[in-house]
Structures are given as C-alpha cells and as structure tokens.
Amino acid sequence: MSIKYKMIHRGDYLNPEGQKKTGFYPHIVRSNTTNIEQLAANMSRGQRLKGIEMKGTIEFMLACIEDELLNGNHVCLDGFGTFAITAECNKQVNDPSEVRAESILVKRVTFTPSKQLKGRLKNAVFVRDKG
C-alpha cells in the first residue's frame, strides 16, 4: 500500500506584505472515496457475514455513533480514535448570559486518532503521483 502525493505551491493570504511565507507542500492525491457498500464488501471477503449483512452492521454502528454524539458524548473506538462535536454560537457573544440554547449550533465533528493509529500511520509509504 502506498499514498500518492504531489507537491503544490501555496501562497500566504494571512500575513501582511513583506512577511508572507510561501512554499511547496505535499498534497495527498485521492484516487477514490470508499463508501459504506464498498467498505462492507471489503470487510466481508473471506468472512461468514455476507456483504449486505456487513453493510447493515456498519450503518447501525454509524447510527449509534450519531446518537451518542447527539447526546453530547464522545465516541472512542479503541485503537482507532475518538469522535466528538464542537459547538459555536450563531452570533458574536459579548455577555455569556445573552446566550440561549437555541443560538448554539454544532460547528463540526472532530476526530482524534489514537496513539496506536498514529503509530501505524507513521509507517505510511508515499509515492509521487505521475499525473
């Protein structure tokens, strides 16, 4: 297995003139996005569970993860990582007493990889994309 990359030039849009930092950075070239059906098929190869059963299991697991996040919980998949939500107000707040629950939104779902996953990813092999 290897990860394709290409080098791209990135400008600096944040710093003022004279302090701009530009350079080349590696950019991962994604050749495919794996969906639940494909993941289930990959997982069911050589297993007793059929692809359709595996797909149902994955979809049920994702629904359970969503429910836990909606209950304000973090979801830790041991050896893989932790999912959590972050929140933001829909307007600037100068006084915390002004904030009502209705004005708070989910900003994003974050993922923090486990130490084990980080360790396994350190062995990633990169190859330059020829495209």
The predicted model gives 33-38 an average pLDDT of 79
**Of the candidates 92, 93, 83, which has an alpha carbon nearest to the alpha carbon of residue 61?**
83
Q: Residue 23: exposed, middle, or buried by beta-carbon count in 10 A (0-12, 13-18, 19+)?
A: exposed
* Phi, then psi, of 109 in degrees rounded to 5: -100, 125
Gap between the Cα atoms of 54 and 98, Å rounded: 47
**Of the candidates 95, 120, 109, 103, which has an alpha carbon nearest to the alpha carbon of residue 3?**
120
- The torsion of the CA quartet 98, 103, 108, 110, rounded to 10 degrees, works out to 50
pTM: 0.69
pLDDT digits (tens, 9 = 90+) for 12-30: 777 787 777 777 777 778 7
Between 41 and 78, the higher pLDDT residue: 78
Between 126 and 29, the higher pLDDT residue: 126
**What value does the mean pLDDT of the chain take?**
85
Gap between the Cα atoms of 30 and 105, Å rounded: 31
